[in-house]
Structure 1
Amino acid sequence: MATKAQAKYKGDSRRLLLAFDIGTTFSGISYSILDPGRIPEIRPVTRFPSQERVGGDNKIPTVIYYNAAGKPVAFGAETLKEGIEADAEESGWVKAHWFKLHLRPQPAPGTAASETPIPPLPPRKTVIDVFKDYMGYLLKCAKAYIEDTHGSIVWNSVKDNIMYVLTHPNGWGGPQQAQMRDAAVRAELIPDTVEGRERVTFVTEGEASLHFCLSNGLAIHANDENSGVLIVDAGGGTIDITAYRRLADKSFEEISIPTCYFQGGIYVTMRAEKHFKSLLRRTRFEHDVPVLTTKFDRSTKHVFKNVDEPHHIQFASIRERDQALNIRGGRITVEGNVISTFFEPSVTCVVKAINEQRTSAHFPIKSVFLVGGFSASNWLYEQVRDAIQPLGITVSRPDTHVNKAVSNGGVSFYLDGVVTSRVSRYTYGIRICNRYNPEKEEHLQRAHLVETHSVHGGKILDNIFSPILHVNTRVNETKEFRGSYCCYGTDINSLKSYTARILSYSGPSQGPMWIKEEPDNYDVVCTVEADTSAVKPDLTYSEEKKTYYCNLAFEIVLLFGLTELKAQIAYRENGVEKRGPAQVMYGA
């Protein structure tokens, strides 16, 4: 049933809102037709090619088959057709699956994500290529569904006025958003213009899940500003955990740093596959491991709920048997206590993450909601519930539609936007140099690093970190964070633009300063390019070089409270603050 948003749409023309939740294993689409003065309805797409059964489904596999020429030949539910594996092998098709993980930030060494190989991309394909193809397919599916449900007249009235919401894991940021937006351009969802690119909005899966819970009437401590709720979005690839509290005006704020773990449902399947490979190595069943793994992934994983109950997986001819391997009639018997070990790292991850959020949150956590496809596992849910509820925290999950939580929540996010404050994940700033001052102990200790500035000739220390926003800071959507800076040039023309790399610091120091002393804890988040041609430089005399040079003073202004980083520059002109344009760029 469609879920209604509370407010009437205030736009002046009809518009279509599409939310794409491209998951690691399954994807979904939700939409809303926005008519001026009418209350929008949030609807899921429930019919897809090769999945048109009565009642429909809200998700399709995130899978593409490519032929030898690199052309897509099957998408989504089409890749589940009977015999398609044989067709693929005979025709030389290549399967692209779990490709979303190729977009992830580099995982930390020693984590499950770093130690688990992910399927390679098809030959000569980049992750943006595959995203482009899949986004184009989702748009075709949305078009066909809307035309069938509402009529082609409705589609034709909105096809040139579509806003997109793309969801992504909590741990992703600007670089991943930039690549997804590039894929949307290449898929011709939007034109490659400033206005076109602004038609794509991003939201984390954790925040989208909060909106889903709210729009489905789940009780989230509506009258208690002093307690929080934890949203656990357990998906195929990632487990995203975000803590919120509800404010008096019914908006929400994050109350801890959101987290993202690569311990979703696919990791259970990969551990099962490893077990089957070890068990059947050097037996006549060795080549049946892929079929056995697929059967486990599609059935056993979802129904498992008791360590005392063995499960029988049919994977070979009924004439096959091997008593030593527990294979009878082509079925292998796997004990429940063995299956539980496939789940154990993921269960432990969720329980540990909830406890860490309890410790770090600015307000006490009183309830936990599990959403996402992996949360449909009774074993996962019951293990988490049994570990967490004795702490005085209620653990719940929606009865229905857990698989469309993120796409529906993406639409609700765009319409309602109830989260008005977020928590900074890292300390952000830029690299600067300072005049060397031997009276400062920290400068004197680094006297051997002193350099001569190329413009003003003074003695400087370089590679100093200048923070603009500190970690674990609650950031309102409209709050600006500033840093005051100067740049120098030998003439005015050299100062018409300024480029700064925004760094994030993830180390233990409360006052990070010397970049080269902790190089592994600093990462380049993005580059801000500012047009400074309107800023009037000062002429300053250099005692060292006995000549004048240009000195440009301005501020970098960053907005961190939105779902995307925004930047501007600020400067003074006759005592009045002026703003100039700045562009945030990711990648090379």
Structure 2
Amino acid sequence: MTGGRKVAREPKTAYRMASSSTKLLVAAIDFGTTFSGYAFSFRHQYETDPTKVSGKVWHSKTGLLASMKAPTCLLLKPDQSFEAFGYDAENKYSELALEDEHKKWYYFKRFKMMLHDRMGMKRDVELEDELGKSVSATKVFSLAIRYLKNDLLQNCKDQATEIYEKDIHWVLTTPAIWSDAAKQFMREAAVKAGINGDALEIALEPEAASIYCRHIPLQRTEKGGKVSVETFSPGSKYLVLDAGGGTVDITLHEVTKDRTIKELHQASGGPWGGTRVDEEFRKLLIKILGCPVFTKFQHNYMDDYLELLREFELKKRDIKTRI
């Protein structure tokens, strides 16, 4: 038990912004195992409606997939310089594979869980891409964060908003069950990506979700022509289950009298996210086809392999649970 620790971190989508803050904008990057995205909120928007947050809708090349996040995929050129992220990385790598020109390029996907799998990791650790070629983990993470950061800034400009980086408070999310070393690694990768460390806050994903839940309207009443909306009242207790692609985080919170949030139990969970389903699907294919055949298919027919994974992702989303 934590003895009622108060949650004081900024949430992933910028729902808590002190009125005394000098920053005009809170920008948050949600770096996920399977999908990543960002959101931002201006101070004047927060003061009017704390749940009013802007983001971006990402689209696949075929238009079959559209969501508030893009696949956590990074494509690097043969010289290890940045080429593409998200759906663009998937599409470009698939095109290279069709021409059998992909083997010198570096393609990374769902690499975030390395920070959970290697709790005692060192800064010089390397990541292996889809074909087993290695690149510095710091470089891979920082290039991905840099892309999301720059795309967010461009999104603000496209909305005819003149904003400077000095006006931004940055938030980067991590799973609650990660080690301090993993959280520090993400902070250092973000700084290397060009984010000012003094304006950067690391937020735990379930606590971010919890702070948002505190602002969700639960009941709408109308009396004498006046409409009022009620949220969680002091003393309310609720459980937050954050089931992501890599991890599942579970936390229990209570709204205090001064409307802050108190943690009733330390966050728990484990590496039980959606990628576990993908791994079991891969094991099933290897069991049916045999490891040599599956490996040959992955290496020599990469475009078909990527299409198979996309189709499987669509099927997963269509599954309905009956109770």
> Which residue number corresponds to residue 163 of structure 1?
169
Whether the aligned pair in 2 keeps the contact of 1:221 and 1:229 (CA below 8 Å) is: no
Whether the aligned pair in 1 keeps the contact of 2:33 and 2:112 (CA below 8 Å) is: yes
Q: Structure 1, residues 120-150: CA drift from partner, whole Å, max 9, x if none? A: 257452222111101110011101211112x
> Which residue number corresponds to residue 494 of structure 1?
none
CA distance in 2, matches of 1:269, 1:288: 17
CA distance in 1, matches of 2:265, 2:255: 14
- In structure 1, runs of 5+ residues without a counterpart are 109-118, 191-196, 306-378, 387-588
CA distance in 1, matches of 2:267, 2:148: 28
Q: Structure 1, residues 316-358: CA drift from partner, whole Å, max 9, x if none? A: xxxxxxxxxxxxxxxxxxxxxxxxxxxxxxxxxxxxxxxxxxx
**How many angstroms does 1:230 deviate by?**
1.2
Q: Structure 1, residues 1-54: CA drift from partner, whole Å, max 9, x if none? A: xx996988333x45221100000010010111225995366423214586797x
Instruction: Please state whether the residue corresponding to 2:48 is helix, strand or coil.
Output: coil
Which of residues 167, 192, 195 in structure 2 aligns to 1:189? 195
> Which residue number corresponds to residue 205 of structure 1?
205
**How many angstroms does 1:58 deviate by?**
0.9
Instruction: Please state whether the residue corresponding to 1:217 is helix, strand or coil.
Output: coil
**How many angstroms does 1:178 deviate by?**
2.0
CA distance in 2, matches of 1:185, 1:204: 18
CA spacing shift, 1:168–1:56, aligned 2, 3 Å: same
CA spacing shift, 1:66–1:105, aligned 2, 3 Å: same
**How many angstroms does 1:245 deviate by?**
1.8
Q: Which amino acid aligns with 1:166?
A: L
Instruction: Please state whether the residue corresponding to 1:100 is helix, strand or coil.
Output: coil
Equivalent residue runs for 1:66-465 within 5 Å: 66-81=76-91, 83-84=94-95, 86=97, 89-91=100-102, 92-104=104-116, 106=118, 120-121=128-129, 123-149=133-159, 151=160, 154-155=161-162, 157-190=163-196, 197-218=197-218, 222-223=232-233, 225=235, 228-281=237-290, 287-288=296-297, 290=305, 293-305=308-320, 379=321
Q: Which amino acid aligns with 1:188?
A: G
Q: Structure 1, residues 461-509: CA drift from partner, whole Å, max 9, x if none? A: xxxxxxxxxxxxxxxxxxxxxxxxxxxxxxxxxxxxxxxxxxxxxxxxx
Higher normalized contact order (CA 8 Å, seq sep 6+, divided by chain length): 2
**How many angstroms does 1:176 deviate by?**
2.1
CA spacing shift, 1:4–1:295, aligned 2, 3 Å: closer
CA spacing shift, 1:22–1:61, aligned 2, 3 Å: same
CA spacing shift, 1:258–1:287, aligned 2, 3 Å: same
CA spacing shift, 1:287–1:293, aligned 2, 3 Å: farther
Q: Structure 1, residues 427-446: CA drift from partner, whole Å, max 9, x if none? A: xxxxxxxxxxxxxxxxxxxx
Q: Structure 1, residues 397-418: CA drift from partner, whole Å, max 9, x if none? A: xxxxxxxxxxxxxxxxxxxxxx
CA distance in 2, matches of 1:264, 1:234: 6
Instruction: Please state whether the residue corresponding to 1:172 is helix, strand or coil.
Output: coil
> Which residue number corresponds to residue 124 of structure 2?
none
Instruction: Please state whether the residue corresponding to 2:265 is helix, strand or coil.
Output: coil
CA distance in 1, matches of 2:86, 2:148: 9
CA distance in 2, matches of 1:166, 1:7: 15
Superposition TM-score, scaled by structure 1 size = 0.43
> Which residue number corresponds to residue 61 of structure 1?
71
Moved more, 265-274 or 240-249: 240-249
CA spacing shift, 1:147–1:281, aligned 2, 3 Å: same
CA distance in 2, matches of 1:9, 1:52: 43
CA distance in 2, matches of 1:95, 1:4: 31
Superposition TM-score, scaled by structure 2 size = 0.75
**How many angstroms does 1:165 deviate by?**
0.6
- In structure 2, runs of 5+ residues without a counterpart are 1-12, 121-126, 220-229, 299-304
Q: Which amino acid aligns with 1:28?
A: G
CA spacing shift, 1:223–1:261, aligned 2, 3 Å: same
> Which residue number corresponds to residue 301 of structure 2?
none
Aligned residue pairs, count: 285
Whether the aligned pair in 1 keeps the contact of 2:15 and 2:211 (CA below 8 Å) is: no
CA distance in 1, matches of 2:114, 2:99: 23
CA distance in 1, matches of 2:314, 2:270: 24
CA distance in 1, matches of 2:279, 2:264: 34
CA distance in 1, matches of 2:175, 2:168: 23
Which of residues 13, 30, 34 in structure 2 aligns to 1:21? 30
CA distance in 2, matches of 1:182, 1:246: 33
Q: Which has the larger radius of gyration?
A: 1
Q: Which amino acid aligns with 2:109?
A: H
Instruction: Please state whether the residue corresponding to 2:259 is helix, strand or coil.
Output: coil
> Which residue number corresponds to residue 462 of structure 1?
none
CA spacing shift, 1:299–1:87, aligned 2, 3 Å: same
Whether the aligned pair in 2 keeps the contact of 1:65 and 1:94 (CA below 8 Å) is: yes
> Which residue number corresponds to residue 334 of structure 1?
none
Whether the aligned pair in 2 keeps the contact of 1:10 and 1:37 (CA below 8 Å) is: no
- Aligned-pair identity in percent equals 24
CA spacing shift, 1:81–1:6, aligned 2, 3 Å: closer
CA spacing shift, 1:160–1:224, aligned 2, 3 Å: closer
Whether the aligned pair in 1 keeps the contact of 2:234 and 2:259 (CA below 8 Å) is: no
Whether the aligned pair in 1 keeps the contact of 2:76 and 2:105 (CA below 8 Å) is: yes
Instruction: Please state whether the residue corresponding to 1:73 is helix, strand or coil.
Output: strand
CA distance in 2, matches of 1:242, 1:166: 19
